[in-house]
Amino acid sequence: MKKLHPMLFVARLGCSLGVMILAVFIAGVLWRLKPETETKAPQEAVLAVELLTAEATDLTVAIETQGIVMPLRKVLISPQVGGRVVEMPQELKAGDLVQKDQVLLKIDPIDYQTALAEATATLSRIEANLEMIRITEASDRQLLTFSERSRDLAQKDFERVKKLSEEGQAVSVSVVESTERAYTQAQSQVLQLQQSLDQIPSRIKEMESELAAAKARHEQSKLQLARTELRAPFPARVMSSTVEVDEVLQPGSKVFELADDSILEIAVPVTASDLRDWIPFDPSSASDQGWFPPLQKVPVSIRWSESRGDNEWQGQLDRLMRFDATTRTAMLAVRISGEQLKTRDTGLPLTEGMFCQVSIPGNTLKNVIKLPRSAVTFDNFCYLNVDGRLKTVAVVIARAQGEYVYISEGIKPGDQVITTRLVSPLEGVKLVEAGV
């Protein structure tokens, strides 16, 4: 290995030492010139929330339910007599309207007119016979009076002649026999008239019985003739028609189905708890039977579920129809009639088959706190702002209705309730009101 010259070694060593001294100097200058670092304590987390001051209020509970509109009255129209249809004043189809007592169809009346004429003749004959019996009775009573007088005279003649004969007077036997015969004939006539008069009450009773039967047959014949015309029992809508002219009908065959749309009902279900807590019963009409008392006739709001506008009808709570133990629901009847059948704004009629939303005003809930649903967790807790810190409280929901819940326990008036939807917030976290 080649050895360096001593002078060259010294020069290189001097350069290295100079570089090292310069680096140390520069590092010292930079250390003096560096900025000083401040040490700060970690900041506390703050949660921005929306707040609502709790206020006590009263709530008239609205029970929301639904049902289908049905007419209160439907009837099947059937003939009570048979025969051929000879006339239909109007060809009725489903949806047609008919008035009360309007003729729907006529059945051939010839056979029933003949039967009525025969019944009328029989009735007249029996009435005439009965009148003749009564005239005969009056005549026989007069004749009986005369006959009794004649008998009494004949008896006196016979007794006088018989006495003269017995006294030896000049009275022939033939005279005695003749007066006796006259007396006997007079007595026989009286007995015959008495027997005839004795039979008259039973004959009159028999004839009166026949007369009553004849009158009944006559009225039945009149009724049968009247039944050859089928008429509408009330103003109605035709639901179905199954008859044509010249068709032969049998008694009891269905020909028309009619609906009375002047009074409609909606059967709506309510839960057992709503029935127990909120449905308004009439306490003044308590019954000693094992059934619910009558309902209060409160006004009920009705909306057609298919309506695009603000169509609303007003009905009336009518009665409790039944209670189903299986589903634990009660069926209530809501009735709509008269002017209630049309909306106030558009005049749209409420009709059979509409599926409607029904709102029933129930009892009043006193001194509850109204909160939006977002303020209450699914497990019934609320978050409060207490001195700027979050506090969790358990609450009792008395009623949930629409977008709000009504709290009966856990919050008092004046409490600051957090309405912002929070998920597992830190208890005691510092709060600030959003937007402030």
CATH of the domain at 370: 2.40.420.20
CA dihedral 344, 345, 348, 353 (to 10 degrees): -70
Question: Is the pLDDT confidence value at 332 over 50?
Answer: yes
Instruction: Retrieve residue 322's tokens.
Output: 């039944």
Task: Report the phi/psi class of residue 347: left, alpha or beta, with left for phi > 0 and alpha for psi in -120 to 50.
Answer: left
**2 assigned to some structural domain:** no
306 and 363 belong to one structural domain: yes
**34 assigned to some structural domain:** no
pLDDT of residue 40: 56
Domain count, the chain: 3
Q: Residues 200-241: pLDDT tens digits? A: 888 889 999 999 999 999 999 999 999 999 999 999 999 999
419 and 275 belong to one structural domain: yes
Instruction: Retrieve residue 162's tokens.
Output: 């018989």
Cβ atoms within 10 Å, residue 125:
12
Contact 265/334 with Cβ under 8 angstroms?
yes
**133 assigned to some structural domain:** yes
Mean pLDDT for the chain? 87
Distance CA 265, CA 71 (A): 6
Structural domain span for residue 237? 79-107+229-254
Distance CA 350, CA 334 (A): 13
Query: Which whole number is the average pLDDT over 166-182?
Result: 76
Distance CA 91, CA 113 (A): 26
Sequence letter at residue 267: A
**116 assigned to some structural domain:** yes
Q: Residues 69-123: pLDDT tens digits? A: 999 999 999 999 999 999 998 888 999 999 999 999 999 999 999 999 999 999 9
Instruction: Give the domain CATH number at 197.
Output: 1.10.287.620
Considering Cα of 404, then 407, then 413, then 417, what sign does the dihedral take? negative
123 and 262 belong to one structural domain: no
Reported confidence tier of residue 42, pLDDT bands at 50, 70, 90:
low
Query: Which whole number is the average pLDDT over 269-294?
Result: 84
**375 assigned to some structural domain:** yes
**25 assigned to some structural domain:** no
Distance CA 414, CA 371 (A): 13
307 and 378 belong to one structural domain: yes
Distance CA 177, CA 111 (A): 68
**131 assigned to some structural domain:** yes
Min mean pLDDT across 14-23, 224-233, 352-361 is at 14-23
